[in-house]
Amino acid sequence: MRIKVSLAQLQIQFGQPEQNLARAELMIQAAARQGSKVILLPELWTTGYDLAHSQQHADTNQKLQPILAALSSTHKIWIGGSLITRQDGKIFNTFFLHNPAGLEAACYSKLHLFGLMQEEQYFTPGAAPVSTPTPWGSTGLSICYDLRFADLFAAYALQGCPLVFLSAEWPVRRILHWDVLTQARAVEFQMFLTAVNAVGEIGNAVYGGRSVIVSPWGEVIARGSDRDEELVTAEIDLNEVERVRKHMPVLRDRRTDLFPDSL
């Protein structure tokens, strides 16, 4: 099955949800005109890392959810990206995926909190990986720092996911790691990885862009610039995952007898 995927590489306006929603709407409309079935938005795309105002932003983001659902329905496109959320009095960094029926198809809270940004002082970690059925097959969800933890992607591969979505704010100073890890995860777990990053100066940090779509062979199908806002779009053939996994059955050849604690 072939689908067209778009990545909305945004320069997030720090702590300004309304401005960021307006910009995202333009990207969603453009992706729909191009025939994309999915558009991904960066990590914390409505606010950036304005964590000092997490409680306020969680309230605002809750009110934005019906708007995102309506945009999915109007433009017949899946919309995914991460937001600051609150549940049972706790704050989370949560990836929401809305489907073209205008429904919330899945939500995933970031499992791995980034110590260098003191995320653990603001966020509660998620409880489990989340994959969800879609017309093109089961799809795994992930957020930024998760990229450094292969076990999460192994879990999705073992569930049979041909595709993982990743929403990020990855800084320019570590963009080499981004390039290497996005290709590595796609290659080692023989899946498509679609990874959207923010770009430009946001708050006190500069983000590196280079949003990317990588094939199970590790080929870069599309990549964004390292400094400009843009919509990165490409068509992918999900049948390639099955072909690659049959040709080189890496998951089957794992030595679980020697490494029983690994996924």
Q: Which residues are the active-site residues?
A: 43, 110, 144
Cα distances (angstroms) measured from residue 119 to each of 52, 116, 127, 248: 11, 8, 16, 38
How far is 21 from 83, CA to CA, in rounded Å?
12
What values do phi and psi take at 216, rounded to 5?
Answer: -65, -15
String of DSSP letters for 163-202: EEEEEE--BGGGHHHHHHHHHHHHHHTTSEEEEEE-EEEE
Strand partners of residue 212: 195, 223
